[in-house]
Amino acid sequence: MAKSKDKDVFPLSNQPHRALLIELKGESALEDGSAATASTEMFAALSLEEVIAYARNRQPSVEIMGLKVLGKVQVLSSSEHLA
């Protein structure tokens, strides 16, 4: 259940949520300084900031090289952050 500042919010479980479809391109250098490894991931999120924070927390050694919003999607099941 998501909470707002003033009250509890009860999302409808059968209601789809809108989210941005975001492509993240990152690069991580190996510890010995040799060639970097590139990766591309896709996320459904409410904002670019949410994706950046998630990527930095999950893989702090990855340098974000690019973010692109590919469009909007309907998310049928989600975490409480999308409610």
Containing domain of residue 33, as a range?
17-76
| Residue 10 domain flag | no
- Got the DSSP string for 33-78? S--EEEEEEEEEES-HHHHHHHHHHH-TTPEEEEEEEEEEEEESS-
pTM of the model: 0.63
Distance CA(4)–CA(28), nearest Å, equals: 37
Query: Do the domain assignments include residue 43?
Result: yes
End-to-end CA distance of the chain: 8
Count how many domains the chain has. Answer: 1
pLDDT by position in tens, the chain (length 83): 444 455 445 455 566 678 999 999 999 877 776 767 888 999 899 888 888 898 889 888 888 899 999 999 988 766 655 44
